[in-house]
Amino acid sequence: MQNVKCKKQNLNSKFKIIVLYVVLNLFMFSWVSCAQSNDVSKTPDNDVIYLKVENAVVSSFDETPDWAPKPNAMAPVDGDMDTRWSSGYRDGEWIYFDFGKPKTISKVIIKWEQAYATSYEISTSDDAKTWSRLILLEGQTGGTSEIKFQPVTARYVKLTGLKRVNPEWGISIWEFEIYGPKDKNPGELPLEERFKKSKEKTELEKKRDQINLVAGQIVPSPSPLTDSEFQRGVNYTSWNVVELGTDLSDYSLIYLSQLDVGHIALMTVWYQDDAVSKRIYVDPKKTVSDESLGHAINLIHALGMKVMLKPHVDLTDEDARVNILPSEEWFASYKEFILHYAEIAAKYNVELLCIGTELSNTTTTTWKEKWLDIIGAIRKIYKGPITYAANWDEYESVSFWQDVDYIGMDAYFPLTKKNNPPKEELVAAWESHASLLEKWLKDTGLNKPIIFTEIGYDTVEGSNKQPWRVLPTLAMHVESQEEQANCLESLLIVLTKRSWFKGFYWWNYFPRPDIGPLGYTLRGKKGEKILSEWYKKLR
């Protein structure tokens, strides 16, 4: 019996030793992972060098029309923040990079697009078949992630997304920069020398650094709007709570200032459930935060541009806002919504406030007193000029034009019934529309300037026929930068000759430069050169 007891004691002792060994190993693994994610590498940054990647392989590409980037696995290692890799819409998607030979790595910088991974791992391999986990990161928040670790030698580096911030998106990376010790990686070049083509990005970064916005600062307006001023505008659009406060947005606004854009319409959206809903509310993921909005306004002013604040109401069931059916309760909710932005406009020295957009069923004589009440309340808070953005087929029925300072129109007037019509026909179409607007002003006795609060054409054949088309229809159409550019130039040729016309805001530009190859944005397209040249002349 004593022998049995001794054996049991020995087994218990061995079991305790094994458990202690496992616990210690788990602790050490946890400590190493934690230490790696908290920058424990002893190698100073000035002793590391950017490591060139020869090839990249991905598990998938995003295939959504118009919004997806070009399917290029090397996009995250091309030194260009205008290009990115975006995966399919599943957890577990991956991308790996091939140096062509083993290199020693000690730091990774990941510049995430807004579709980031909240949990991901980085692995290394010598053959792209057997992978060793280098680090596991959880609870991540996107943006720019800088990860340092003790030097590791490998030919391949892999990122695997384990969990996405939004189940409706994939994961998306602007740049994946890999660094290692200089003395272990002879022949490598610094990032700036490796990618000399990234001059534009570097200049944008330098310009942003020169501005040096101070937290809590309110930047003054360059000057109030004047009666003679031509508003050289674009609509700047985001459906994300923090995007207008990001580096990427800052660079895009600086980019616009360099095109001689002088006026930015900042859109922010609240929501209601359907056309008969009585409550308008903030979407915690889609409505631009007040902080991000204030940051964008400050930067626009610091760049010498002016702001039209343009709040929208959208429907979560994706019906059009022109179909909203108002009620007493709806107007009470709308008043609360728009007065919130009147306060922001006053606080941040906004030059023009748009008090509504395409609310066709609400602006008739039936509801005029409700609008006059709202306008009166706005004027007590915000002392600058106001406008209303009527839909192109609504402007004749708006009941309160006498009580705003600018007649605003979202001017998606159809021009011809042809694909790629000659510019002469587009000019003739705009002459006809301009003459009708001029006659309407005379007949109604409205002594008010007109601005186009929105105007735009997507980048496809036939865009002039139905300019109000929405993005999902574009995948079936043929690209035509020519037609988009001709529509824009025809508008400028005709309307700049009319004394009552005081400017327009092109729909649209995004903080993200890669969005919209077939959409309304002019970025990088033929029409952008026309816009910039005309805006320079109209200063």
pLDDT tens, residue by residue, 83-124: 899 999 999 999 999 999 999 999 999 999 889 999 999 999
Token reading at 340? 């919130």
Domain ranges of the chain: 45-198, 234-537
CATH number assigned to the domain with residue range 45-198, chosen from the 4 options 3.40.1390.10, 2.60.120.260, 3.40.630.30, 3.40.50.620: 2.60.120.260
Identify which of 70, 232, 246, 222 has the alpha carbon closest to the alpha carbon of residue 141.
Answer: 246
d(CA 175, CA 83): 8
The verdict on domain 234-537 having CATH code 3.20.20.80 is yes
The pLDDT assigned to 65 comes to 67
d(CA 391, CA 185): 61
Token reading at 120? 């991901």
The pLDDT assigned to 70 comes to 86
Do the beta carbons of residue 119 and residue 140 sit within 8 Å? yes
Q: Which residue has the tokens 């005029």?
A: 368
- Judged on CB neighbours under 10 Å (0-12, 13-18, 19+), 162 is middle
The pLDDT assigned to 369 comes to 98
Angle at 66 between CA 175 and CA 412, to 5 degrees: 130
d(CA 111, CA 84): 10
Do the beta carbons of residue 149 and residue 134 sit within 8 Å? yes
The pLDDT assigned to 40 comes to 39
The pLDDT assigned to 200 comes to 59
The pLDDT assigned to 199 comes to 55
Q: Is 429 helix (H, G, I), strand (E, B) or coil?
A: helix
The pLDDT assigned to 6 comes to 38
- At a CB cut-off of 8 Å and minimum separation 6, what does 419 contact? 461, 462, 465, 480, 483
Residues of the chain with pLDDT under 50: 1-41
The DSSP H or E segment spanning 190 is: none
The pLDDT assigned to 194 comes to 87
Q: Is the dihedral of CA 236, 240, 244, 246 positive or negative?
A: negative
- At a CB cut-off of 8 Å and minimum separation 6, what does 482 contact? 420, 526
